[in-house]
Amino acid sequence: MKLLLGNTNLTPERGISKKAENSVKYLVNGLLMPAGYDSILLLIFYGLTFIIPLFPNLLYIRWNNFAPNKSEMKAHFTLVLLFSGMVNLKAQITVGANDFANANDTARVSIANIPSGLNYKATGADTTWDYSFLQWSSQQVDKLLNPTNTNAIYALYFANVSFNSHRANIASPGTLNISINSLLTVNNLYNYFYKSSSSYIQQGLGMSIDNIPTEVSMINRDTLYKFPLNYGDAEQCYSSFKINLPVIGGVLHTQTRTNQVDGWGNLTTPFGTFPVLRVYTEIVSYDSVYIDTLHTGLNVPLATQRQYKWIGNNQKEPLLEINTQVVLGVETVSSIVYRDSVRNRPVVISGIEQTDDKVIAFNVFPDPANDHFSVSYANEEETQLVVADLTGKELLHKTFTGSMETVDASQWAKGIYLVMLTDSRQTSVKKIVIQ
C-alpha cells in the first residue's frame, strides 16, 4: 500500500514502517484543521509519532535502500513549512515602546455610546473580540506634546536631561482626580511622562492652582507599562504625589496600579480588525487630606478605576479602551474610546445649514477653490484643523490659534473634501470643492 504525497512515494519497502505511513496521514489531516491550541497540540503529537518510528529503520537498513530522492526531500521540507506556518498563523503579538505615541504624535479617536449588556470581560488566549457594533457619538484628536511646548516653568522643571531625576519627554493635557477638586480652581493641567525602551513612567504634573503655576513631582513614580508586553505578564506599582494647597493645607494622593496582560487575539471595531494584546488595569487610590486650620487630617478613598485596553502594533494608542468605576462593589462602564478615522455628520456633509446650535461657527472660502482656500473662525482659542477626502484619508492635520488659516491645496486632486474644526467644546465639518 502506498501513500501519495506530492511527487513522493513512501512505502514500507523503502524502509518506513506501516505505523509511520499512517502517522503521515494523520499529520496531513492535522494540518488541515483550524489553527488553535487543540490543533497545535495534535500537530506536535502527530509530528512526534511520525519521527520516532523512523529511528529503528534508520538503524537497521542500508543507506542506499533508504536514501531519499529529491522529491522526497521536497515533500519533507513542505511538511516542515506547513507545520511551522500553522503554529505561527495565530501567534500572539508583542507590544513595545515604539507602539505608543511620542511627543507631537496625534491619534484620532471616537467616543462611543455605551450599549447595555456589554460583555467586556471576556478574554484569554486566541480570543476573537467583536466590537464592530459600537456607535460613535463624538470624536477628538489626541495629541502628545513636547514638554518644552508647555508652561515654561514646567518645561524647566521636567527638562529632558540625563541628570534630572524627574526628566520627561512627553506631556499630555489632563484633569486632576483628587477628592478635593471642588475646593480648588485648577487650570492648564499637564501630565509629564518619560518613555524609554523598557518602561512608560509618569514623572509628575504641572497645573495652575488659583492662578499660581505649580509643578508636582511624583514621590513614588507611576509605571504605566513595562516593555515589552507579552501575554501572561503581570505587574503592580505603588505611586504617590503631594500637593501643597494655600489656606487648606495639603493632600497626599496614593494609588496602586495593577496591570495584567490577560488575553491575545483579534479585535474588530468600526476602525477595522487587528491582532492585539488585551491589558487589564486596576487603579485603587486614596487621598490623605491635611487641614491646617483644624490641625487634623483624614483619609478619603476614591472610586476604583478599571481599564480594559486592546493594544496593537504601531497604533499609538489602544485600539479600544473601556473604562469603568467600581462603587460599593458595583462596576459601571464610564466611557468607551476607540481608534478611528474621520466620521462625518450627514447634516454637515450635505452642506445644509446645521440645526445644532452648539456647532462651531466657521467659514471656508472660496468654494469652489483652486490652489488655496481659507478657514475663518470666530474665536481665537487653540483649534484642531483637519482636511480629509471622502474616504476619510487625512491630507492635513494641524493646530492653530487665531481667526484665519490658509490651506495650500495645490497638490490635491480635484474633488470634494471635508474640512473639520475641533475646539474645546465640539467639532463641526464643512465641505469644499477643489477644481
pLDDT in tens, 68-123: 555 554 444 445 444 444 444 467 999 999 999 999 898 889 999 999 889 999 99
pLDDT of residue 180: 65
Is the pLDDT at 133 greater than 60? The verdict is: yes
In the predicted model, what is the mean pLDDT of the chain? 78
Strands 212-226 and 186-195, by their bridges, are: unpaired
Task: Determine which of 154-168, 302-316, 324-338, 393-407 has the lowest per-residue pLDDT on average.
Answer: 393-407
Specify the pLDDT at position 6.
Answer: 36
User: d(Cα 24, Cα 19) in Å, to the nearest integer?
Assistant: 9
* pLDDT of the residue at 142: 87
Instruction: Among 339, 355, 387, identify where a domain stops.
Output: 339
**308, pLDDT greater than 70:** yes
| Per-residue pLDDT, 274 | 96
Q: What is the pLDDT of residue 32?
A: 40
Is the whole model's pTM more than 0.85, yes or no? no
pLDDT above 70 as % of the chain: 71
pLDDT at position 367 over 90: no
- Which domain, by its residues, includes 415? 346-434
| Tens digit of each residue's pLDDT (9 = 90 or more) over 206-217 | 988 878 889 999
Clarify whether residues 108 and 200 are in a common domain: yes
Give the total residue count for the chain.
Answer: 435
Tell me which residue of 205, 206, 247 sits closest to 222, measured CA to CA: 205
Residue 427 has pLDDT above 80, yes or no: no
Rounded to whole angstroms, the Cα distance separating 320 from 313 reads: 13
Give percent above pLDDT 90 in the chain.
41
Locate cell 538503524: which residue?
59
pLDDT(2) > 50: no
Is the same domain home to 45 and 193? Answer: no
Same domain, 175 and 233: yes
- pLDDT bucket at 360, cuts 50 / 70 / 90: low
> Given 289, 317, 339, which residue is the final one in a domain?
339
Residues with Cβ within 8 Å of 41's Cβ and at least 6 positions away in sequence, in order, are none
Q: Are residues 321 and 430 in the same domain?
A: no
pLDDT at residue 380 in the model: 66
> Are 212 and 231 in the same domain?
yes
Question: Does residue 313 surpass a pLDDT of 50?
Answer: yes
Lowest-confidence pick of 11-15, 212-216, 279-283, 305-309: 11-15
φ, ψ of residue 432 in degrees (nearest 5): -145, 150
Distance CA 54, CA 410 (A): 70
Q: How far is CA 261 from CA 120, 126, 202, 228, 417, in A?
A: 15, 13, 20, 11, 41
Angle between helix 18-31 and helix 70-88 axes, rounded to 10 deg: 40
Give the residue from 282, 280, 281, 272 showing the smallest Cα distance to 319.
Answer: 272
> Which of 208-217, 221-230, 424-433 is the least confident region?
424-433
Least confident of 3-7, 34-38, 338-342: 3-7
Last-in-domain residue among 22, 53, 88: 88
Both 331 and 413 in a single domain? no
Peptide bond into 368 cis (omega under 30): yes
Domain match, 83 and 101 both: no
DSSP state letter for 92: P
Which pLDDT score is estimated for 302? Answer: 87
Same domain, 293 and 386: no
Cell of 54: 523512523
Which pLDDT score is estimated for 352? 30
Do the Cβ atoms of 23 and 44 come closer than 8 Å? no
Q: Is 30 exposed, middle or buried (0-12, 13-18, 19+ CB in 10 A)?
A: buried
Which range has the top average pLDDT, 130-134, 367-371, 409-413? Answer: 130-134
The structural domain count of the chain equals: 3
User: Which pLDDT value is given to residue 23?
Assistant: 44
DSSP helix/strand/coil, 77: helix
**Cβ(112)–Cβ(137) under 8 Å?**
yes
* 133 contacts 120 by C-beta, under 8 angstroms: no
- Give per-residue pLDDT as tens, 39-73: 444 445 445 544 544 444 443 434 444 445 555 54
Stated as kind and residue range, the H or E segment containing 288 is: strand 272-291
∠168-170-173 over CA atoms, to 5°? 115
- Residues 76-83: contacts with CB under 8 Å, at least 24 apart: 78/6, 79/27, 79/28, 79/31, 82/31, 83/27, 83/31, 83/43, 83/47
* 68/105 same-domain check: no
Residue 86 CA to residue 33 CA, distance in Å, equals 9
Same domain, 134 and 33: no
Q: Are residues 80 and 101 in the same domain?
A: no
195-200: long-range contacts (C-beta < 8 A, 24 or more apart)?
A: 195/97, 195/100, 195/102, 195/169, 195/170, 196/97, 197/96, 197/97, 197/227, 198/97, 198/226, 198/227, 199/223, 199/225, 199/226, 199/227, 200/97, 200/100, 200/224, 200/225, 200/227
C-alpha distances (whole Å) from 235 to each of 199, 309, 320 are: 12, 15, 21
Averaged pLDDT, 386-403:
78
Asked if residue 84 and residue 101 are part of one domain, the reply reads no
Distance CA 35, CA 43 (A): 10
